[in-house]
């Protein structure tokens, strides 16, 4: 199991490096694939796939799924081809309105909680994952975008190691008994240190700001806190719906939601912190 997980992790890192360094169409296409996969995993976890429009099991594809898939595709097309980012907010509102159209004109085919949950599944992973592309599109984005993964994957690794070595006090004993406060602090510290090294040895040569290392330390630390909330939030959803993994796409890890749960939360935070602290 460990060998399979390690091999998958190596492949993920290689794919991430190539995709993000290339950017453009490739990055947008990969993120769209991850977005629709995560949407399907969430809809399946919430038991919203295969409904018949009358609140029960029936057709393999239903109005909720179609609305979500079309909305996600439209959002990503607008993200890639649109020039003004404000239209992404319009796209998100339009998706909500589309779900409400379905709710009203198919009434009483879908219950209010199903509509709300389907919109949540659309906004949660698909929209928040799009911020990886938005960060990459910023000035110096090819350098800033790696902070998303330093704040999530590096944090996850450091938290695991520190927790195994010195973890004693439970962070969320009911939700995730194995996670410790010491591990969480270790994850934050590890992300901050890696972010500092990354900024000092590489980014300072490109971004001409004397305080850029300290800015990256702050971004890494804040991102690490948010990433752990994202990890726990995805775990809470699994607990509520009594599932072990969201999917089986990534051997040893599970689905997209299992591997990218922390990245989903970190990406928007890094985008806005970069706008505020680097480009503000």
For the chain, helix (H) and strand (E) counts, in that order, are 13, 2
The parts of the chain modelled with pLDDT lower than 70 are: 1-6, 51-61, 210, 252, 280
Q: What is the tens place of the pLDDT at every residue in 218-238?
A: 999 999 999 999 999 999 999
Question: Which helix (H) or strand (E) element contains residue 176?
Answer: strand 176-180
How buried is residue 279: exposed, middle or buried, by Cβ count under 10 Å (0-12/13-18/19+)?
A: exposed
Q: Do residues 228 and 155 touch, judged by C-beta distance below 8 A?
A: yes
In this prediction, residue 103 carries a pLDDT of 95
In this prediction, residue 185 carries a pLDDT of 96
Q: Determine the Cα–Cα distance for residues 210 and 213; give it in Å rounded to an integer.
A: 8
Residues with Cβ within 8 Å of residue 195, at least 6 apart in sequence: 147, 150, 151, 216, 217, 219, 220, 221
Residue among 117, 232, 253 at smallest CA distance from 184: 232
In this prediction, residue 55 carries a pLDDT of 47
Contacts 24+ apart (CB under 8 A), 84-92: 85/134, 88/130, 92/123, 92/127
Q: Can you give the pTM of this predicted structure?
A: 0.92
In this prediction, residue 181 carries a pLDDT of 93
Q: Do residues 194 and 150 touch, judged by C-beta distance below 8 A?
A: yes
Helix axes 24-45, 212-241, angle to 10 degrees: 30
User: How far is residue 94 CA from its own chain's centroid?
Assistant: 22
Give the residue extent of every domain in the chain: 1-137, 138-280
Q: Do residues 243 and 28 touch, judged by C-beta distance below 8 A?
A: no
Q: Determine the Cα–Cα distance for residues 231 and 78; give it in Å rounded to an integer.
A: 29
Cis peptide before 108 (omega within 30 of 0): yes
Q: What is the tens place of the pLDDT at every residue in 93-115?
A: 999 999 999 999 999 989 999 99
């Amino acid at each position: 199991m460990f060998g399979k997980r390690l091999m998958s992790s190596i492949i993920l890192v290689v794919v991430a490096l190539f995709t993000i360094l290339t950017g453009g169409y490739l990055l947008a296409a990969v993120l769209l694939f991850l977005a629709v996969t995560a949407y399907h995993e969430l809809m399946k976890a919430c038991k919203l796939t295969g409904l018949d429009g009358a609140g029960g099991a029936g057709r393999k594809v239903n109005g909720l799924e179609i609305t979500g898939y079309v909305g996600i595709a439209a959002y990503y097309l607008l993200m890639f081809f649109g020039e003004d980012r404000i239209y992404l907010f319009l796209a998100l509102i339009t998706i909500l309105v589309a779900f409400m159209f379905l709710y009203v004109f198919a009434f009483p085919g879908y219950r209010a909680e199903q509509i709300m949950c389907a919109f949540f599944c659309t906004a949660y992973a698909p929209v928040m994952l799009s911020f990886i592309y938005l960060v990459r599109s910023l000035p110096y984005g090819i350098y800033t975008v790696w902070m998303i993964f330093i704040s999530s994957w590096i944090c996850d690794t450091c938290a695991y190691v520190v927790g195994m070595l010195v973890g004693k006090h439970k962070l969320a004993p009911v939700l995730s008994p194995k996670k410790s406060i010491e591990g969480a602090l270790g994850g934050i510290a590890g992300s901050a240190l890696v972010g500092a090294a990354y900024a000092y040895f590489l980014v300072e040569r490109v971004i001409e700001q004397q305080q850029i290392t300290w800015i990256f330390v702050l971004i890494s630390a804040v991102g690490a806190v948010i990433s752990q909330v994202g990890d726990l939030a995805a775990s809470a959803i699994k607990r509520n719906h009594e599932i072990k993994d969201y999917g089986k796409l990534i051997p040893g890890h599970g689905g997209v939601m299992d591997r990218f749960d922390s990245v989903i939360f970190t990406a928007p935070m890094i985008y806005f912190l970069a706008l505020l602290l680097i480009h503000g």
